């Protein structure tokens, strides 16, 4: 009896496996998927993705069209690379694609998807978005912090003047001013000041932020081939866990200090964004309770998002101007005409500086901070442009490709701010040819703050200084390669010399 029983069990098992495979094959057949390269077993199309995924996918879109279907291991991925596709994914069918994939970066670096960026679409995320729009980034609150941005800008300009004629690493100065602005707005003080009781040094904190953005954008093999995730072949999970411990130590200290300050004070008035978050966490009417780890996740999100985007964008802008000094001359002519040579640029002046604003837009077109935005995730089966998009498909919008579309832009690879003069295109998510902050429900909630810091930083750098390359270096020697992560900074940080261009007494500040 043993022989036939074993054979019958084996036959039943094989038949079950065969039926499962057949049903999957039949289900797959009924989908009319977008065009794309044929995937390899196990790895899918990962063999076609290089160290700069946005460029690899750009090349594929040139071959297969504005909507393509890929497989990253076992994970289905759809990429839109045109204005029409961006509008469908981010506006027309925004709700369908409003969630986020559950990848390692969100799990290990944001308290298990507890922040604004990586949380899934649902009550928790809707509540988080409402907090951002109504409380953290309201026009009233941002205006109330303008004095902080002005003070830190003054400190930046003083530091540059003190370093005049010497080669400097520009991003260090830009990151410092961004981090100080965000620290004071979000945390209430510069927790990264050099002092004996500092939890973390400024250099270490900047490295933590760089690591966070790198790890949030990497293609982790385990996200695509789950059954080998435990091996951590690239070492990314180990790095994410180590980074998470560093951030948690810092954020615990921040929350402890804030709670101590609030203790026993009746009708305490919030002084910074962490105070606001802690007050919201105590609100009994919240639809979803905001736990301590949620407050830490939001705080980390605010610090990281507000620091990286502005420093990266301004560094790219100065790099492009060094290659085209005639643009620098046009910008300074506008600044001298509108601002004069006896004062610095204020935020309210930007509306009267269309050429400086055009430089910012042109920089964001050619060098979007997040070239494929943050990945989205289809919540249900749907159709796009006549193709089927199955539920649980990752969706990317390649704004890097859109920014180089010759049907939208004349000479798309040229840096030419004049293309925006007299054009009503802005970066607020309604003009789909320029989407540095995304669009729709998952658009960056702090874009208005980021834009203020970028515009005023660049305007004052151009107003106060003439920028030159060090030594005998020529503009042709300038390295314009990038590193891919959740943001896309320069591969080789920019080293420059700043020469004051205003009367000496202006720098007394």
In a domain, 254, yes or no: yes
- Specify the pLDDT at position 21: 55
132 is in an annotated binding site: no
- Specify the pLDDT at position 155: 92
- β-partners of residue 396 are 79
Closest CA to 306 of 148, 436, 185: 185
Tell me which residue range forms the domain holding 289.
6-14+50-507
In a domain, 484, yes or no: yes
Rounded-to-integer distance, Cα 272 and Cα 502, Å: 35
Rounded-to-integer distance, Cα 317 and Cα 409, Å: 19
Rounded-to-integer distance, Cα 414 and Cα 366, Å: 9
Which of left, alpha, beta for 278 (phi over 0: left; psi -120 to 50: alpha)? alpha
Q: What is the pTM of this model?
A: 0.90
In a domain, 32, yes or no: no
Q: CB–CB of 157/464 below 8 Å? A: yes
Number of domains forming the structure of the chain: 1
CB atoms within 10 A of CB 19: 10
Residues of the chain with pLDDT under 50: 1-4
In a domain, 37, yes or no: no
DSSP state string for 205-272: HHHHHHHHHHHHHS--HHHHSGGGGGG-TTSHHHHHHHHHHHHHHHHHHHHHHHHHHHTT-TTPPP-S
State which H helix or E strand residue 376 sits in.
strand 376-377
Could you tell me the CA-to-CA distances from 304 to 236, 437, 448 in Å, in that order?
19, 14, 15
Q: DSSP code of 268? A: P
SS3 70: strand
- Specify the pLDDT at position 9: 54
In a domain, 26, yes or no: no
- Specify the pLDDT at position 307: 77
In a domain, 1, yes or no: no
Residue 72's domain is classified under what CATH number? Answer: 1.10.630.10
Rounded-to-integer distance, Cα 457 and Cα 87, Å: 31
- Specify the pLDDT at position 12: 63
Q: CB–CB of 317/359 below 8 Å? A: yes
- Specify the pLDDT at position 11: 54
Could you tell me the CA-to-CA distances from 37 to 40, 46, 65, 391 in Å, in that order?
9, 11, 11, 20
In a domain, 383, yes or no: yes
In a domain, 240, yes or no: yes
- Specify the pLDDT at position 91: 96
Taken as a whole, the chain contains a residue count of 509
- Specify the pLDDT at position 508: 80
Would you state the structure tokens that stand for residue 3, as one six-digit string? 């022989």
């Amino acid at each position: 009896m043993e022989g036939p029983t074993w054979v019958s069990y084996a036959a039943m098992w094989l038949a079950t496996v065969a039926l499962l495979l057949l049903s999957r094959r039949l289900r797959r057949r009924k989908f009319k998927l977008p065009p794309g390269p044929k995937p390899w077993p196990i790895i899918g199309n990962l063999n076609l993705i290089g160290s700069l995924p946005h460029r690899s996918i750009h090349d594929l879109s040139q071959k297969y069209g504005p909507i393509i279907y890929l497989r990253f291991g076992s994970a289905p991925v759809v990429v839109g690379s045109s204005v029409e596709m961006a509008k469908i994914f981010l506006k027309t069918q925004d709700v369908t694609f409003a969630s986020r994939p559950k990848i390692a970066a969100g799990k290990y670096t944001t308290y298990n998807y507890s922040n604004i960026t990586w949380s899934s679409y649902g009550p928790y995320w809707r509540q988080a978005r409402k907090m951002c729009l109504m409380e953290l980034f309201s026009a009233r609150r941002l205006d109330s912090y303008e004095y902080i941005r002005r003070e830190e800008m003054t400190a930046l300009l003083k530091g540059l003047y003190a370093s005049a004629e010497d080669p400097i690493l520009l991003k260090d100065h830009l990151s410092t001013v961004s981090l100080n602005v965000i620290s004071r707005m979000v945390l209430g003080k510069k927790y990264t000041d050099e002092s004996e009781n500092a939890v973390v040094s400024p250099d270490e904190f900047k490295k933590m932020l760089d690591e966070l953005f790198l790890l949030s954008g990497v293609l982790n093999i385990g996200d695509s081939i789950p059954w080998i995730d435990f091996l951590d072949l690239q070492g990314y999970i180990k790095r994410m866990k180590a980074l998470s411990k560093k951030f948690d130590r810092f954020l615990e200290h921040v929350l402890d200090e804030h709670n101590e300050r609030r203790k026993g004070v009746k009708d305490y008035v919030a002084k910074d964004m962490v105070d606001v978050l802690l007050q919201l966490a105590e609100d009994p009417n919240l639809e979803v309770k905001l736990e301590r780890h949620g407050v830490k996740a939001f705080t980390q999100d605010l610090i990281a998002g507000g620091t990286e985007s502005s420093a990266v964008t301004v560094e790219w802008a100065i790099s492009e101007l060094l290659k085209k000094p005639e643009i620098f001359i046009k910008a300074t002519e506008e600044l001298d005409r509108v601002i004069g040579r006896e004062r610095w640029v204020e935020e309210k002046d930007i509306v009267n500086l269309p050429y400086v604003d055009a430089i910012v837009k042109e920089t964001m077109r050619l060098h979007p901070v997040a070239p494929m935005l943050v990945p989205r995730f289809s919540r249900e089966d749907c159709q796009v442009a006549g193709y089927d998009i199955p539920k649980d498909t990752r969706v990317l919008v390649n704004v890097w490709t859109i920014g180089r579309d010759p049907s939208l832009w004349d000479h798309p690879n040229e840096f030419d701010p004049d293309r925006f003069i007299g054009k009503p295109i802005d970066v607020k998510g309604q003009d789909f040819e320029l989407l540095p902050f995304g669009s729709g429900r998952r658009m960056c909630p702090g874009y208005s703050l980021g834009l203020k810091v970028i515009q005023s930083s660049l305007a004052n750098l151009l107003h106060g200084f003439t920028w030159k390359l060090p030594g005998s270096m020529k503009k042709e020697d300038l390295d314009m390669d990038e590193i891919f992560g959740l943001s896309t900074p320069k591969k080789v940080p920019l080293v420059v010399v700043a020469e004051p261009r205003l009367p000496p007494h202006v720098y007394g500040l």
